[in-house]
Structure 1
């Protein structure tokens, strides 16, 4: 309760405390995403060294290259917050660091969606050899987009503070 008797909303924290809390939360989120990216990217890097890679057609090899490039970009975006923080630590830029790290993380998640989509397309083209591949890939990408972006956007809109 405030002195006027009105109920306060939110946390009672200073801007520095808020930045520290948001940074800790962001690091936990990045750790989860990085684990998946590291596994996927590590797998992608080994594919080119398998005997079957040489037998892939030109289109599949191009999809593979795009997938690896997307995986590298995803890795960069999700590791970016760590180097950003390390380079500005001690300069009293925590709120700005959190903002930029959050943006890089969101970009990393978007790139991860593109990487997964590309990897699915390649794997399903090789495994299924039929016209259903784009539809199956599209359906799975739509599902991921709903889980990763649609539901959070809906919740944000649905539970936004009025006034």
Structure 2
């Protein structure tokens, strides 16, 4: 069996898994792909919902500001899909170029950006539906409430867990 130094594997198990940089990049790319799949499914469902709305009889009852919000949501939906698929396109272009580390880094940045666009899309769709069904005040309330939930679930909670892990590793 190769020594850790000759095989390129991590020598200190406390610092992570016993894997080469290439193995780590492959594992990280698999994780990025799994996250892309989850994100893309939700985005596709929202996109389908939004596109179907334009062909409903009640769509003509929307006022100008509601139509504008609707079009912004359609653009956000398309943008979210494009951003979420960008790592796949990069991977195809760089296939067999030994650029997995760059692809993973790009995938991470794209996923973070896609999460931002999807959060805007989710908040916007919920506010839009509340506006059409109940009214303007309810839309603003729903927008604010969902925005707070997203900030807590997607930003605050992960950072709290991260800080606890760092504190645990530091002691």
**Same-fold status (TM-score > 0.5):** yes
Distance apart, 1:132 and its partner CA: 3.1
Higher normalized contact order (CA 8 Å, seq sep 6+, divided by chain length)? 1
Between the aligned partners of 2:136 and 2:37, the Cα distance in structure 1 is: 37
Choose the corresponding residue for 1:94, options 82, 91, 100: 100
Tell me which residue corresponds to 1:152: 158
Write 1 or 2 for the structure with the bigger share of helix.
Answer: 2
**Match for residue 18 of structure 2 among 4, 12, 20:** 12
Shift of 1:127: 1.1
What are the residue-to-residue correspondences of 1:1-40 with 2, within 5 Å?
8-40=14-46
Q: 1:17 to 1:58 in 2, by over 3 A?
A: same
- C-alpha distance in 1 between matches for 2:138 and 2:46: 24
Q: CA deviation at 1:146?
A: 1.4
Runs of 4+ that moved beyond 6 A: none
Task: Name the Cα RMSD after superposition.
Answer: 1.7
Rounded to whole Å, the distance in 2 between the matches of 1:7 and 1:33 is: 32
Out of 86-95 and 132-141, give the one that drifted further. Answer: 132-141
